[in-house]
A and B are shown apart, each in its own frame.
Chain A
Amino acid sequence: MKTNLLLLAFALSTTVGFAQKLKGSDTVLPLAQKEAESYMKSNKANKIIVTGGGSGVGLAALVDGTTDIAMSSRKIKMSEKIKLQDAGKASKETVVAYDALAVIVNPANKVSQLTREQLEGIFTGKIKNWKEVGGDDLQIVVYSRESSSGTYEFFKEHVLKNKNYASSVLSMPATGAIVQSISQTKGAIGYVGLAYMEKEVKALKVSYDKGKTYVAPSMATAKDKSYPIVRPLYFYYLTTTEKSVKPFIDFCLSPEGQKIVEQVGYVPLAK
């Protein structure tokens, strides 16, 4: 038994040792996994291993050389750029897809649209009851991702205009947990990537022009840029490994790769 375990460990380490490694954002993870699967089907000699851990984890792995591609749902930070330079490394950035963030509520909630200002008021704690925004007399229960998440940061920057979340906001470690909580709580509100939308929750239309026009999140509105809460998803890699990672990245950017983007629920790059 011990011998078998050792052989298994050796086989795994051999596989990992020669495989291309992607590490980082949990938002990008399902997309990267599907892309890797398709790529390996038509390039049988190649092995690609994809792991999550968060955008920060992926970029730190790029600095210390334990990943070939860092997946990120946010731009690389200044401090990470300085660390890369201090390590004598130069990086490149590629946008592989876009992610539309849907603001979701319980299906029983009669509110179906909100302005950005109303969303800001809700998530910063200024608006506490649904009746203030045309709904029932019901306390608003706000869900968010944890502060280490790229999705958390993007929502704070683009929807809350960098104002702080209310201290009463409930932090959830994963998107799935947000969907489940909102589906079970009538007064709940939160945000998830379009790829994670389920029928147990309802997506709100959002207005960024103070109520003149409201747009629902969908692949079409994200593609034509009429839906405003859309963010790029990145791959970061080193210039020294560009030759080895380019074939996979080019596959992700190809029509076949972009079709996979749409299938997974993310928004493909404009043609």
Chain B
Amino acid sequence: MNFKRNVILTAVGAVLLLANTGLKAQEATENPLDTLARSLQNMADDLNKLKRLKITGYLQPQYQYIDSAGAPSVAGGDFINGTSKYYSRVMMRRGRFKFTYDYQNVRLMINTDVTEKGLFMRETYIKVTDKWLKMFSVTAGLLQDQFGFELTQSSSERETPERARYNQTLFPTERDLGIFGTLEFPKTSALNGLKLDVAVMNGSAGVASEFDSHKDFTGRLQYKKTTKNEKVEFGVGASYYYGGYRIGSNKDFKPATLANGDNGFEFAPDTANYNRVARRIYMGADAQISIDWKIGITTLRAEYIMGEQPGTSSSTRSIGSAPTSTIYHRNFDGAYFYLIQNIGQSKFQVVAKYDWYDPNTKVSGKEIGKAGTNTKVGDIRFDTYGFGVTYRMNTYVKIIGYYDVVQNESTLITGYAKDITDNVFTLRMQFKF
């Protein structure tokens, strides 16, 4: 009995011993290099996931002063009426935080603007690029308007504090809700350098949901090339916008030569006007050239736009809600010219810019405000001359000092009999990350 018990106990003990040894052998045989490789692989996998998310942005705090308190301005908004002759302000012009998530051929982007005015959404979209040719992409959501060169250039890269007046008027938020497609020819194609952007948008300036069910179309064709010696880079583009919004009011004014020979507006009281579409039709052309030579990189840019824009008596600004007041149909044009000069290879850059916006090309000067013409403040042409210096401290920080000389045409309208005092000086610091 004891012998049998001892044999059984010994056998059980041997099994346990062997099992334990086997386990210990498994634990003991793992190569430290394998462990290291596994840990590194795990770290690499985690890092690859984190690398899909990028956070970029820029801050633009600035100081400004304007010649007269209360003057209207497109240099970051009107100046509030104050008591002193020269009105100044400090503001956070832009505080952009952009979150981009890339996975394979899909991108999600959320772009916010955080200033003293609050938190605003600038862009929110999904972009899908074709996997095979990598030539086509489709983007849907709240996205940037696709027209011309300056409108599509980032505010962090632009050499002047603000866009040209006509861009701020026709595209006040530079954004809209819609879908846009891009065709861009790759390096291997004979058409490399050519890019086509087309979009179908609400036409509601991106500030609200669609208000009239009428969609706007916009497109831009651009070509960009660099010379073989990498000394000259040039680009040209052509843009087109076709859209409009439904006229809520039953009144609208069309441009006409009146019975007395004056240029002005003719009232069209046809009740069929109501809910017709007031057309926004823009045609534009742009060109840019950069030359790297002895004195530093020189850049010249120019853009011209013309077309039809509906507005009110006092403004031609594109609207973001259903119109209810009288609509004025106007033919407009506008342009800008930039001269940008880098000072050798130094951190300094100087810029000179001229832009004009003529909201009504059919009337000018003392025709505006003439009795019986129905011409108003919204018909006044503005010319702006700007000069500035930029100091690029490092990869992240630059400082811009810029002066705008704003001139309006002299009219018969009260307050605009001559050029109003609305020149603006801007001192801006930008931090970009």
A interface vs B, CB < 8 Å? 1, 5, 63-65, 75-79, 81-82, 85-91, 147, 157, 162, 164-165, 167, 239
Q: Which of A75, A78, A162 has the most CB of B within 10 A?
A: A78
Q: A1 to chain B: which residues have CB within 8 Å? A: 32, 35
A85–B297 touching, CB < 8 Å: yes
A165–B188 touching, CB < 8 Å: yes
User: Is B395 interfacial (CB-CB < 8 Å)?
Assistant: yes
Tell me whether A82 and B188 are in contact in the complex, defined as CB-CB below 8 angstroms, given that A64-B395, A65-B395 are known contacts. Answer: no
Kindly provide the distance from the CB of A160 to the nearest chain B CB, expressed in whole angstroms. 12
A86–B157 touching, CB < 8 Å: yes
Choose among B230, B392, B398 the residue that contacts A81 (Cβ–Cβ < 8 A): B230
Q: B349 to chain A: which residues have CB within 8 Å? A: 85
B206-231 vs A, CB cutoff 8 Å, 1 = contact: the mask equals 00000000000000000000101111
**30 sampled A-B residue pairs with Cβ under 8 A:** A5-B36, A65-B395, A75-B230, A77-B226, A77-B230, A78-B230, A78-B231, A78-B292, A79-B233, A81-B230, A81-B297, A85-B296, A85-B297, A85-B342, A85-B345, A85-B392, A86-B157, A86-B398, A87-B394, A88-B347, A88-B392, A88-B393, A88-B398, A90-B346, A91-B345, A147-B186, A164-B188, A164-B189, A164-B192, A239-B345
Q: B230 to chain A: which residues have CB within 8 Å? A: 75-78, 81
Q: Looking across the interface, which residue of chain B has its beta carbon closest to that of A157?
A: B228
Tell me whether A147 and B188 are in contact in the complex, defined as CB-CB below 8 angstroms, given that A78-B231, A78-B233 are known contacts. Answer: yes
B290–A82 touching, CB < 8 Å: yes
Question: How many of chain B's residues have a CB under 8 angstroms from any CB in A?
Answer: 32
Known: A1-B35, A88-B398. 9 other contacts (CB 8 A): A5-B39, A75-B230, A77-B226, A77-B230, A78-B226, A88-B347, A147-B187, A162-B228, A164-B192
Q: Looking across the interface, which residue of chain B has its beta carbon closest to that of A8?
A: B36
State the CA gap A206–B103 with chains docked (Å): 45
- B390-410 with Cβ < 8 A to chain A: 392-395, 398
Q: Looking across the interface, which residue of chain A has its beta carbon closest to that of B231?
A: A78
Kindly provide the distance from the CB of A63 to the nearest chain B CB, expressed in whole angstroms. 7
State the CA gap A91–B296 with chains docked (Å): 12
User: Is B71 interfacial (CB-CB < 8 Å)?
Assistant: no
A90–B395 touching, CB < 8 Å: no
Q: B92 to chain A: which residues have CB within 8 Å? A: none
Kindly provide the distance from the CB of B335 to the nearest chain A CB, expressed in whole angstroms. 24
A88–B394 touching, CB < 8 Å: yes
Q: B39 to chain A: which residues have CB within 8 Å? A: 5
Kindly provide the distance from the CB of B350 to the nearest chain A CB, expressed in whole angstroms. 13
State the CA gap A63–B228 with chains docked (Å): 22
Q: Looking across the interface, which residue of chain A has its beta carbon closest to that of B157?
A: A86
Kindly provide the distance from the CB of B426 to the nearest chain A CB, expressed in whole angstroms. 19
Q: Which of A76, A88, A89 has the most CB of B within 10 A?
A: A88
For the complex of A and B, list the 8 residue pairs with the smallest distance between their C-beta atoms, beginning with the closest.
A88-B392, A90-B345, A87-B395, A78-B233, A147-B187, A88-B347, A164-B190, A78-B226
User: Is B413 interfacial (CB-CB < 8 Å)?
Assistant: no
State the CA gap A77–B225 with chains docked (Å): 11
State the CA gap A136–B132 with chains docked (Å): 35
Q: Looking across the interface, which residue of chain B has its beta carbon closest to that of A76?
A: B230
Q: Looking across the interface, which residue of chain B has its beta carbon closest to that of A152?
A: B187
State the CA gap A165–B186 with chains docked (Å): 12
Q: Looking across the interface, which residue of chain A has its beta carbon closest to that of B342?
A: A85
User: Is B232 interfacial (CB-CB < 8 Å)?
Assistant: yes
Q: A157 to chain B: which residues have CB within 8 Å? A: 228
